[in-house]
Structure 1
Amino acid sequence: MGKPFRPTMLERAIGRTLGDWRKDRQFSLSEAGRRVGFSTAKLSMMENAVQPSAPVDVMALGFVYLVPAPERQQLVANTEHARRLRRPSAGEMGVLFDAVGEYGRLELEASSVRAFRIDVLPGFFQIPDYITALAKADDPLRAAVVAEQRIALREVRRQRLTDKNPLVVEVVLCEAALRQTVGGPRVMRAQLLHLIELAELANVTIRVMPFAAGAYPAVGSPFTILSFPHEQHDDVVYLQSVRRGSYVESPEERGPYMVRFTALQEIALTPCESLELIAEVLGSF
């Protein structure tokens, strides 16, 4: 028996897009399957990336859903590329889909997030004023639009922290992330108070890497590890630069990140000590 199918981030993005196309047409799985000649089970497996999608099937669905030709052709090209990636001569993944845009949706699907941050707080911890200040500093011309999008996503993220099956969050923050005055003292006071409130949730664990710790694993390299409830969806490591995001998916490549995150947790302050330091920094603003 061969290895069970494990979808790549690209294949999961393809499945998600197929689901979006169907919902835009307001078709149920059974109605869509009847129109294209697929069983409901096959269509569900394609949308959930339980099996690889064939380019011809994606093309057929695009016609049935009346998707504009350029968008339909792009997804077919993505599907062909995903199939090539499974061959020994596969090239790099990530050039045909928006890794940064997909991250927000992956985070909402995740069962747990482990994040290491150096000088900025994770998105799911940020308050609106902190988000707006970051957007203005990074991209002044698009700040209003970017901030609006991120604040809307923040509301969904906030719900994930407190819903029936809450997202489990483990974070290691460098002390610099607490002391970087984003948006001014007033904003930082509100932001740190919010951080303390979140730390009281049973599913949220915050550890701070103090300046006094000196050198530590993964120095200068923030990263996020996402885990998922579906047994066929492996853990993935997300990395982001100024303009591009990327995913580390193979067990051999993501392993070092897992090891380093555990080491970071061991070196950082305990959750109780971390709260004390956060309160201390709060008092300085």
Structure 2
Amino acid sequence: MPGTEPLQSTGKPTLTPAAGASPTALRMVLGAQLRRMRGEAGITPDIAAKRIRCSTAKISRMETGHSPCKERDAADLLELYGVTDPVRTAEFIELVRRAGLRGWWRNYADVMPDWFEPLVGLEEAAASIRTYEAHYVPGLLQTADYAHAVVRSGHALESEEMTRRRVELRLRRQELLLRADAPKLWVLLDEAVLMRPTGGAGVMREQLGHLLQMTELPHVIVQVAPFEVTAHTSPGNAITYLRFAMDGLPDVAYIEHLTNATSVNKQDSTDEYRWILDSLSAQSPSPAESRKLLDQALRRFA
């Protein structure tokens, strides 16, 4: 059906990291390059760690993009790995510098858990984002009042100022959908989300109207997964699947839990999550039929 073609690994464009690329994505790309160069040079993590006076655990975190790499350490590692071309070295060090910059989201560190920060950084660099939500409208498509209701449901005892900051962060994330190079957003929404009166009838009317409006954008797709589908094919937890145009950056599946999240980028794992999303899409009504379901839900809250 239109709009529900599976995300198969049909190859990605090869691009040099763009000037505005997310520091989070750059760290992953640089980490993969460091791991590849170390392997090609036949250097063990122990030897690399001794060269820059750190632990092997830090080498592992750098190579997976979970820890930044200092420019001095990068220069020492390149020398150890036999990279002597001054132009190549200078380009790599410049990318290391860019990867170490603060993303805008760091201004919200007071309300952003450490486990959530990678998702925000990767959203900024994604070419496509697919997500399944069983409980709420995804944050990228929430209205301010709906976001406020969702945040208060999970943080009922915190100050109103903290809630305001969390909502502000959520709305700031949404700005990527208005960029000229906005990612394709493909949302699978459990039917239960349309039934749950989050924030009350008025908030739901506004939220469902906003969803319908957003589906008019050419890069936003929303499908409603009916109960009869999710009863047999449901991952249980929210899944966000990100694909990138940047060369060297693998697909990432981000799975949310109650108080933390897991991100995986190994192909055997991401293939499994992609299959779940493909299966849900194939069994659910088309985007056009889903718009009718959204409109019906909107009338129920009238």
Same fold (TM over 0.5): yes
Matched, 1:171 2:199: no
Partner Cα distance (2:34, 2:194) in 1: 38
Partner of 1:235: 251
Secondary structure in structure 2 of the residue aligned to 1:14:
coil
Partner of 2:137: 121
Secondary structure in structure 1 of the residue aligned to 2:277:
helix
Matched, 1:276 2:270: no
Equivalent pair of 1:112/1:227 in contact (CA under 8 Å): yes
TM-score (normalizing by structure 1): 0.69
Partner Cα distance (1:146, 1:211) in 2: 35
**Structure 1 residues 174-227: Cα deviation after superposition (integer angstroms, max 9, x where no partner):** 110111111000000000000000011000011001124363323423211011
How far apart are residue 256 of structure 1 and its match?
0.6
Partner of 2:91: 41
Partner Cα distance (2:266, 2:121) in 1: 20
Matched, 1:155 2:176: no
Partner Cα distance (1:39, 1:102) in 2: 27
Structure 2 residue ranges without an equivalent (≥5): 1-31, 36-59, 72-87, 101-112
Matched, 1:208 2:224: yes
How far apart are residue 132 of structure 1 and its match?
0.9
**Structure 1 residues 218-241: Cα deviation after superposition (integer angstroms, max 9, x where no partner):** 342321101122111111100111
**Letter of the structure 2 residue corresponding to residue 274 of structure 1:** S
Equivalent pair of 1:130/1:183 in contact (CA under 8 Å): yes
Partner Cα distance (2:34, 2:186) in 1: 25
Change (3 A) 1:193 1:118: same
Partner of 2:150: 134
Secondary structure in structure 2 of the residue aligned to 1:242:
coil
Partner Cα distance (2:66, 2:176) in 1: 20
**Structure 1 residues 98-132: Cα deviation after superposition (integer angstroms, max 9, x where no partner):** 22122212212212100011111111011111111
Q: How does 1:46-65 map to 2 (within 5 A)?
A: 46-47=96-97
Higher RCO (C-alpha under 8 Å, 6+ residues apart): 2
Equivalent pair of 1:113/1:225 in contact (CA under 8 Å): yes
Partner Cα distance (2:161, 2:127) in 1: 29
Secondary structure in structure 2 of the residue aligned to 1:247:
strand
How far apart are residue 169 of structure 1 and its match?
0.4
**Letter of the structure 1 residue corresponding to residue 158 of structure 2:** R
Partner Cα distance (2:276, 2:141) in 1: 22
Structure 1 residue ranges without an equivalent (≥5): 20-37, 50-57, 59-96
Partner of 2:125: 109
Equivalent pair of 1:131/1:151 in contact (CA under 8 Å): yes
Aligned residues: 218
How far apart are residue 39 of structure 1 and its match?
6.0
Change (3 A) 1:123 1:143: farther
Change (3 A) 1:280 1:14: same
How far apart are residue 47 of structure 1 and its match?
4.4
